[in-house]
């Protein structure tokens, strides 16, 4: 197998180059995870290249030593500590952001009889939008979505049966989803979750590169073995 060039290794988890470069735990852990994958690939590349270019080794010796290097590296990636740290930090951040998002919605909840009266008026106003035509429901939904920056409006819709606002249950679900997605906490939660996907994909890509170069396969027992080794089967 050919030596990996720096460009090929740098392309692993390339989306991570767009991660925010800010000193907070979850983004630092995510960047460190992808950087750690590339560092491991560089180390494996150096070791395998030295073996492949050794004048003292026969083809069988190259195959055996390259497989040994791959097994060690694949074992590290299977339980990659830096990815575990990134997962932990992302879980903590997403939990915090979800709490903030819920707090934003709770801020508009009716707390006094006057607030409750306003909520009734909001639902009544929305139910009268769009007229009675075939597209009335779509127009009411559009009117609702246009107000999702207003916590009082959103809470008035979500705290009552859908028909009181002239909406269907599905339409209320759309309002709920878009209200959550419109908040900064929800946007950040989505961004860090997507970033974790990038880090996990980088580990998977690195494992596949190493396995391919060394002629390895993943057996049903979860272990990596060289293609010349007998497979190990586990009971169903």
| The token pair that represents 37 in the structure block | 């994958």
- What's the rounded Cα separation, in Å, for the pair 214 and 149? 55
Are 129 and 139 spatial neighbours (Cβ–Cβ below 8 Å)? yes
Reported as a single tens digit per residue, the pLDDT across 125-179 is 999 998 777 788 899 999 999 998 899 999 999 889 999 999 999 999 898 888 8
Q: Compute the average pLDDT of residues 110-123.
A: 93
Q: Compute the average pLDDT of residues 95-106.
A: 84
Residues 6+ apart with CB under 8 A from 129: 136, 139, 140, 143, 166
Max avg pLDDT among 143-147, 196-200, 219-223: 196-200
pLDDT band at 197 (very low <50, low <70, confident <90, very high): very high
pTM of the model: 0.78
Average pLDDT, the chain: 92
- 16-30, 183-197, 205-219: range with lowest mean pLDDT: 183-197
Rg of the chain, C-alpha, whole Å: 27
Reported as a single tens digit per residue, the pLDDT across 19-61 is 999 999 999 999 999 999 999 999 999 999 999 999 999 999 9
């Amino acid at each position: 197998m050919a030596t990996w060039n720096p460009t090929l290794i740098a392309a692993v988890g390339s989306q991570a180059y767009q991660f925010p470069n800010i000193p907070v735990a979850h983004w630092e852990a995510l960047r460190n995870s992808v950087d750690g994958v590339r560092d491991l690939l560089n180390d494996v590349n150096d070791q395998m290249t030295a073996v492949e270019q050794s004048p003292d080794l026969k083809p069988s010796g190259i195959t055996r030593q390259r497989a040994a290097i791959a097994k060690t590296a694949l074992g590290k990636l299977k339980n990659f500590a830096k990815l575990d740290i990134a997962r932990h930090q992302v879980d903590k951040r997403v939990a915090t952001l979800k709490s903030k998002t819920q707090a934003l919605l709770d801020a508009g909840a009716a707390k006094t009889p006057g607030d409750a009266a306003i909520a009734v008026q909001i639902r009544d106003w929305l139910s009268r939008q769009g007229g009675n035509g075939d597209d009335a429901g779509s127009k009411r939904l559009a009117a609702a979505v246009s107000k999702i920056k207003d916590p009082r409006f959103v809470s008035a819709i979500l705290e009552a049966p859908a028909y009181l606002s002239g909406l269907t249950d599905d339409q209320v679900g759309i309002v709920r989803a878009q209200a959550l997605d419109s908040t900064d906490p929800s946007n950040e939660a989505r961004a860090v979750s997507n970033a974790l996907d990038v880090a996990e994909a980088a580990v998977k890509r690195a494992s596949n590169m190493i396995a391919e170069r060394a002629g390895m396969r993943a057996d049903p027992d979860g272990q990596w073995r060289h293609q010349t080794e007998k497979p190990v089967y586990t009971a169903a």
